[in-house]
């Protein structure tokens, strides 16, 4: 065999090896990029979904004036939405098994966009109530479905908490963007333009999800099995779950009750215009993006239950700060603290539920938990609206601060129950 032939074989072998390495690198890159792209689509859809839900608070004053509503009547818009949303959340686990997560996300995004555009055309309070029901039916199926997808994608990652934090921060980011749109609409046009514009944004997002989200029901193989941690007893799971759901309900009463009327508080008690109150509300929610991202880092560092206890406790303190009449500088600082802390509690509690329940049950248990939390969300606006009408803003804020303190105490008991049973399960496992 000639030396030229041997050299040719060596060159061919080297070339084939290079191609093989390139294929492996490309395959590895695809495996990494695909989950990131899927997660990005889910987060984008979540931002839109939550932005639509958050359109109402900054526009509530204008809607109340146009339809000549009381605080209690206007709060009913949020209450009706929350009740229907809660019912839908309880069914998400069943729906995801029947039709698949991809179809749920596509249906939710596109149909919710249509509902928001129709809302811009209403001319009666009754029709507005009906569209709130329709919006809850279409928007309600997104959050838990996307959360389960994100949890599955990040199950084998060391930064699962941070990734979940990014997904949950989409709730605040959506509120920021929709509030900014609301502020511009109130300044130059009217509240209807905000609904119309936000509805139009949802159509291309829904089409992107339809085109690029894989058809596979589970999307990725779930690597976060119970083999990676001691299995808690069914009784311990049940007790911890009930306590954590109670925290969610209490926190929802606090957060939704105050957020619904925060723009009213700023415009009526602090003298801001409708547009400036909406803009300030958007700034408060923008800080919430940082808070929920920080929450994700805390989940990975100090633990999920510990983060839930800390954030719910800080929430009780933050609620009271805007009441102090120490000038606008102090008001802005206190609102910044409020905006940073308030959104953190929900994410940490939801992450604690994920951590204490089997992965195969995530859709069902988180859907049911969020459904019950929206019982609190439906009570919150009505409760705060009634208190404002009868006793003023101070009483409403102080009462919700007490509720936040109670949620901190319940979160502590959930942590102690989980910790004690984890220790027992670990010792028996060893």
Rg (CA), the chain: 24
17 in a structural domain:
no
Q: 16 to each of 4, 11, 23, 28, 210, how far by Cα in Å?
A: 18, 9, 10, 18, 38
Q: Give residue-wise pLDDT tens across range 305-321.
A: 888 888 888 888 888 88
Q: What is the pLDDT of residue 156?
A: 67
Q: How high is the pLDDT of residue 227?
A: 39
Q: Over the stretch 201-257, which tens digit does the pLDDT of each residue have?
A: 999 999 988 888 876 544 433 444 333 333 445 565 677 888 888 888 888 888 878
Q: What is the pTM of this model?
A: 0.66
Quick one: tokens of 100?
Answer: 């698949």
Q: Is 326 helix (H, G, I), strand (E, B) or coil?
A: coil
Q: How high is the pLDDT of residue 422? A: 57
CB count, 10 Å around CB of 418? 23
State the CATH number of the domain containing residue 123: 1.20.1250.20
The residue range of the domain holding 263 is: 37-218+231-429
Distance CA 79, CA 58 (A): 16
Q: With 70 as the cut, is the pLDDT of residue 1 above it?
A: no
- The span from the CA of 426 to the CA of 228, in Å, is 12
Q: Among 107-116, 167-176, 284-293, which range has the highest average pLDDT?
A: 107-116
The pLDDT of residue 360 is 66
Q: What is the dihedral of CA 403, 406, 407, 413, to 10 degrees?
A: -170
For the chain, give the number of residues. 430
Contact of 159 with 81, CB cutoff 8 Å: no
- How confident is the model at residue 380, as a pLDDT? 82
Domain count, the chain: 1
The token pair that represents 129 in the structure block: 């109530």
Average pLDDT, the chain: 78
Q: Lowest mean pLDDT: which of 181-195, 225-239, 253-267? A: 225-239
- 23 within some domain: no
Which contacts qualify for 130-134: CB closer than 8 Å, 24 or more apart?
132/77, 132/78, 132/80, 132/81, 132/84, 133/80, 133/81, 133/84
| pLDDT at position 131 | 93
- The mean pLDDT of 137-156, rounded to a whole number, is 81
Residue 365 pLDDT greater than 80, yes or no:
no
For residue 12, the model assigns a pLDDT of: 52
* Domain assignment present for 223: no
Region of residue 214 (left: phi > 0; alpha: psi -120 to 50; beta: else): beta
- 6 within some domain: no
Identify which has the larger pLDDT, 162 or 429.
162
Q: What are phi and psi of 325, to 5 degrees?
A: -95, 75
Is residue 21 a part of any domain in this protein? Answer: no
Q: Is residue 18 in some structural domain?
A: no
Q: Is residue 402 part of a domain?
A: yes
258 falls within a domain: yes
Q: What pLDDT band is residue 25 in, cutting at 50, 70 and 90?
A: very low
């Amino acid at each position: 065999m000639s030396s030229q032939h041997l050299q040719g074989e060596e060159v061919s072998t080297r070339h084939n090896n290079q191609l093989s390495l390139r294929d492996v690198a490309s395959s590895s890159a695809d495996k990494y990029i695909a989950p990131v792209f899927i997660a990005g689509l889910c987060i984008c859809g979540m931002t839109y979904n939550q932005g639509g839900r958050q359109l109402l608070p900054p526009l509530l004053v204008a809607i109340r004036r146009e339809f000549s509503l009381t605080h209690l009547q206007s709060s009913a818009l949020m209450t009706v939405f929350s009740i229907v949303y809660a019912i839908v959340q309880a069914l998400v686990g069943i729906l995801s098994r029947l039709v698949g997560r991809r179809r749920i996300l596509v249906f939710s995004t596109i149909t919710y966009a249509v509902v928001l555009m129709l809302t811009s055309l209403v001319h009666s309070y009754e029709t507005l109530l009906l569209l709130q029901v329709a919006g809850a039916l279409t928007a309600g199926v997104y959050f838990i479905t996307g959360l389960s997808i994100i949890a599955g994608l990040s199950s084998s990652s060391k930064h699962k908490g941070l990734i979940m934090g990014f997904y949950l921060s989409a709730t605040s980011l959506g509120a920021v963007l929709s509030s900014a749109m609301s502020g511009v609409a109130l300044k130059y046009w009217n509240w209807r333009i905000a609904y119309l514009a936000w509805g139009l944004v949802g159509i291309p997002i829904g089409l992107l999800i339809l085109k690029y989200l894989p058809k596979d029901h589970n999307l990725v193989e779930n690597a976060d099995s119970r083999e990676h941690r001691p299995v808690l007893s069914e009784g311990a799971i049940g007790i911890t779950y009930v306590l954590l759901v109670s925290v969610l309900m209490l926190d929802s009463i606090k957060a939704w009750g105050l957020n619904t009327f925060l723009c009213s508080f700023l415009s009526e008690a602090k003298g801001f215009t409708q547009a400036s109150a909406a803009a300030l509300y958007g700034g408060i929610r923008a800080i919430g993006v940082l808070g929920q991202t920080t929450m994700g880092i805390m989940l990975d560092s100090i633990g999920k239950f510990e983060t839930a206890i800390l954030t719910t406790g800080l929430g009780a303190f933050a609620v009271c700060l805007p009441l102090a009449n120490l000038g606008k500088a102090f008001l802005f600082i206190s609102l910044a603290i409020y905006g940073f802390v308030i959104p953190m509690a929900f994410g940490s509690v939801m992450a604690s539920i994920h951590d204490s329940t089997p992965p195969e049950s995530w859709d069902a248990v988180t859907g049911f938990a969020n459904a019950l939390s929206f019982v609190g969300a439906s009570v919150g606006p009505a409760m705060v609206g009634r208190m404002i009408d009868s006793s003023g803003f101070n009483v409403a804020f102080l009462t919700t601060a007490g509720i936040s303190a109670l949620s901190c105490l319940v979160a502590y008991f959930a942590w102690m129950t989980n910790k004690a049973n984890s220790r027992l399960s670990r010792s028996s496992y060893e």
